[in-house]
A and B are shown apart, each in its own frame.
Chain A
Amino acid sequence: MANAKILIVDDDVDFTEALKVILQSEQYEVISANTREKGMEMLKSEKPDLAILDVMMATWQDGFEMARELKKDPECKDIRLLMLTGVKDKTGIEFKSTAGDPTWCPVDCFLDKPVEPEILLAEINKLLQIKA
């Protein structure tokens, strides 16, 4: 969906910059934050259509806690959430199967880092279509 607004929340600056360029080439409007606090702030003030959250920033709960907080907020609960993680291989948890669990992991999609740009773009497309 052209001109949709996407927010990236990830503490890896290089990754964020590269992702920004890739998304912008698909005509998305992209903003970013690299801490959880800044991310929450921007989510509330900018109201993006979709947010890409890194699971682990300061602590490994950050991504999940942000997601839960967002779903509780009536103004933000419609923002599509996509989570990116390198944590799967470390903890061995099959996150994919928990995506959508409303209490623990209320995100709409879960992907592993590193992610092929095609796959990421396809998922984003899918999520934004749902919203539209």
Chain B
Amino acid sequence: MKALSQSVPLIKRAYWLINLRWIAIFFVCAGTFFSSKILVISLQDVILYSIAGLLLVYNTVVLFLLNYYIKKNHVIRRPAVRGVINFQISADLLILTFLIHFSGGIENPFVFYFIFHMIISSILLSVKESYLQATFAVLLFGLMLLLEYKGPILHHCLEGFISNCHQQGGRYIIGFYFAFTTAMYLVVYMANYISTRLKKAEQAHRGANVLLCKKDRIKDEYVLRLTHDIKGHLAAIQSCLDVVNRKLVGPLNTEQADFVKRATERTRKVTNFVKALLRLTRIRLDSKITMEYFSLKDTINSVIDSARRRAQKGSLSLSCNIEPSVDKIYGSQLSIEEMIMNLLLNAIKYTPENGKVSLTATSTDHSVLVEIIDTGIGIPKDELCHVFEEFYRGSNARKIEKDGTGLGLSIASQIVERHDGKIGVESEEGKGTRLWFTLPKDERVSHDSSVETIPEEFEY
């Protein structure tokens, strides 16, 4: 049985315990003040406040130790943290016993609060440990009752609350103690039961997730292999058609030439489609692409130069505005260049004659923002959320380009995601589109460095 739910890291729970203790300290002080001054019940307030003070110091020390430990270590060793949590809970039980002793012992209804500690231990600790803590609590309380009853320790009466306190005879105390003990163990049993069920459900959920990711990967690898083979066949078809096209194996009459030309065109189109699909699938499978610092400014400028001719063909005005602070960023130069080219060509393709396409690049402290704005056909409002999906093509796009792959934007979003950036689009049908993406300037520390992926060291 896994002792801790993996969805909430161990460290978060350690902080939770510390926070609970702040609340407890507050209530001890408030409760003591209220009972002593307002209800005028006789309490050992000085001692109670001192214990609260002790709790304050102890909690602060634990907090600092935890912060220090986290800062020093990148890999959190679970047994160490759990050992500390165990120690804290035992210490809490000891302090609670003292608090109860100095505020009426068996007559203090707040004896119930032992139950909270049992619930907390069942959540934070393993089954064995929570039972051990229960036993410790039961022994502590029993010892307190015994010593108060037999004499060496004074039983503090809550005058103003209980009349005739020393009336409790041995029978009552034993009866009370029995109920207390059984309650403690039952609470641990039930809390563990619920906790275990929850953890099992979470584990099943996580397992299903992992399986899903694995299957997705298998699918991608299959698609990769398949498309690669298809591409091989297409290459052969293309070459054979080229031979006939160039009349190298005999003359062609007009009709023959026409049909061979159609076949060649279609082959070229499907080859491009397969290439795009291969590219997308490979990006999805590749967990590492070569990243380095490169000049985004130079990359954008070279893309603009290449795209200018295409823009001029459609009598479009192409403008480019790069803020001087935009220069070097960390990433894959090839992928980013290809992506920007793709997005720019898209804008050009879907903007009617005499329209405008503009690219702007600005930067903040940590990232750059690139926007490509056009006065093109736009994207229908209800389709905006789908544009980054694989193979999705806008309904109005087909009129301009019958055979687009629908992969350009999903490839772009994969690349942006891989760089830890964000991508988005705003558009109005018939008016134009604004496509933007952000890229971090610097290398991001990988996500899986710290607490989240502690290897499971405890297994019962």
Contact of B275 among A17, A25, A89, A94 (CB under 8 A): A89
In the complex, are the beta carbons of B239 and A114 less than 8 A apart? yes
Cβ of A1 within 8 Å of any chain B Cβ, yes or no, is: no
> For B235, what are the chain A residues with a Cβ–Cβ distance below 8 Å?
12, 15, 86, 113-115
Given A14-B240, A15-B236; A89-B231 close (CB under 8 Å): yes
Q: Which of B227-247 contact A (CB under 8 A)?
A: 228, 231-232, 234-240, 242-243, 246
In the complex, are the beta carbons of A22 and B238 less than 8 A apart? no
Residues of A contacting B: mostly = helix
Assembly CA distance A77 to B228 (angstroms): 32
Cβ of B249 within 8 Å of any chain A Cβ, yes or no, is: yes
Cβ of B224 within 8 Å of any chain A Cβ, yes or no, is: yes
Cβ of A21 within 8 Å of any chain B Cβ, yes or no, is: yes
Tally of A interface residues using CB under 8 Å = 20
In the complex, are the beta carbons of B278 and A89 less than 8 A apart? yes
Cβ of B271 within 8 Å of any chain A Cβ, yes or no, is: yes
> For B224, what are the chain A residues with a Cβ–Cβ distance below 8 Å?
90
Tally of B interface residues using CB under 8 Å = 25
Assembly CA distance A79 to B224 (angstroms): 34
> For A115, what are the chain B residues with a Cβ–Cβ distance below 8 Å?
235
Q: Which of A53-94 contact B (CB under 8 A)?
A: 86-87, 89-90, 92, 94
Assembly CA distance A87 to B235 (angstroms): 12
Q: Which of A19-68 contact B (CB under 8 A)?
A: 19, 21-22, 24-25
> For B401, what are the chain A residues with a Cβ–Cβ distance below 8 Å?
none
> For A19, what are the chain B residues with a Cβ–Cβ distance below 8 Å?
239
Cβ of B279 within 8 Å of any chain A Cβ, yes or no, is: yes
> For A132, what are the chain B residues with a Cβ–Cβ distance below 8 Å?
none
- 11 example contacts (A-B, Cβ-Cβ < 8 A) are as follows A15-B235, A15-B239, A19-B239, A22-B243, A86-B231, A90-B282, A92-B289, A94-B334, A113-B232, A113-B235, A114-B239
Residues of B at under 8 Å CB distance from A? 224-225, 228, 231-232, 234-240, 242-243, 246, 248-249, 271, 275, 278-279, 282, 286, 289, 334
Q: Which 7 pairs, one residue from A and one from B, show the smallest C-beta to C-beta distance?
A: A18-B239, A114-B235, A113-B235, A14-B236, A89-B278, A15-B236, A114-B238
Knowing that A22-B248, A113-B235, A114-B239 are A-B contacts, what are 9 other residue pairs whose CB atoms are under 8 Å apart, sorted by A's residue number?
A: A12-B235, A14-B240, A17-B240, A18-B240, A19-B239, A86-B228, A92-B286, A94-B334, A117-B242
